[in-house]
Amino acid sequence: MRRTSPISTDISQAYATSTEFCKVFSENMNSMHLLSFLLTGDLTKAEECFVSGLEDCVEGSYVFRDWARSWARRTIIQNAIRMVVPRKEHSAITAVPSEPVDCRFGRTAEADATIAGILRLEDFERFVFVISVLEKYADQDCSLLLGCSRQDVREARMRAIQHVAEAVVLRQYSFEQMDGQRQSYYRTASRAI
């Protein structure tokens, strides 16, 4: 009769299982789908990115249980990079309507304005902003993921922060210029989204 070593059993119990990854995705579905959307800039691509991230995690990631959530988010980032291929040299701008973002992510006019501002960034700047500012990755990690220099990351982040701030200020200014009835309607519509 073959006996298993207690050490190997302890080690295998330290890793996240497929079920645990499913639970991570289920419990964090909204934030992970928003991450996918902000990176890809497209709802259809975001869904594809989210589902492929779940599949990648479930199909055999050997990750410590405590790291499952951060690993799942990193997997989504890696899938979005493969899908969009953001490059500093030839970055595209995602077409975003000037109206409030109707995507059920933003629960307030300010959140919608911020999401729209992020989506208006060029692909490379948007990825740098989301990865380094929102996900709080270090410049070195961000540069490795995107295949660029740390200097490229720093410069893109500064441009992105400036553009997002300008978009939010412009949105706030136009909101303040509306009459009271239109502001009330906009607030009600934003909560319903």
Q: Which residues of 17-38 are buried (b: 16+ CB within 10 A; e: fewer)?
A: eeebbeebbeeeeeebbbbbbb
User: What pTM does this model have?
Assistant: 0.77
In the chain, where the domains are located: 11-84, 86-193
More confident of the two residues 101 and 138: 138
Tokens matching residue 13: 């119990």
Residues 6 or more apart from 6 whose CB is under 8 A from it? none
In sign, the C-alpha dihedral spanning 153, 123, 79, 69 is: positive
Q: How confident is the model at residue 77 (pLDDT cuts 50, 70, 90)?
A: very high
Per-residue pLDDT, 68:
94
When the candidates are 2.30.29, 1.10.3210, 1.10.405, 1.20.140, the CATH number that belongs to 86-193 is 1.20.140
Q: How confident is the model at residue 60 (pLDDT cuts 50, 70, 90)?
A: confident
Can you tell me which residue has the tokens 């934003």? 190
Q: Is the pLDDT of residue 144 over 90?
A: yes
Q: How confident is the model at residue 43 (pLDDT cuts 50, 70, 90)?
A: very high
Half-sphere exposure at residue 172, Cβ-oriented, CA atoms within 13 angstroms: 9
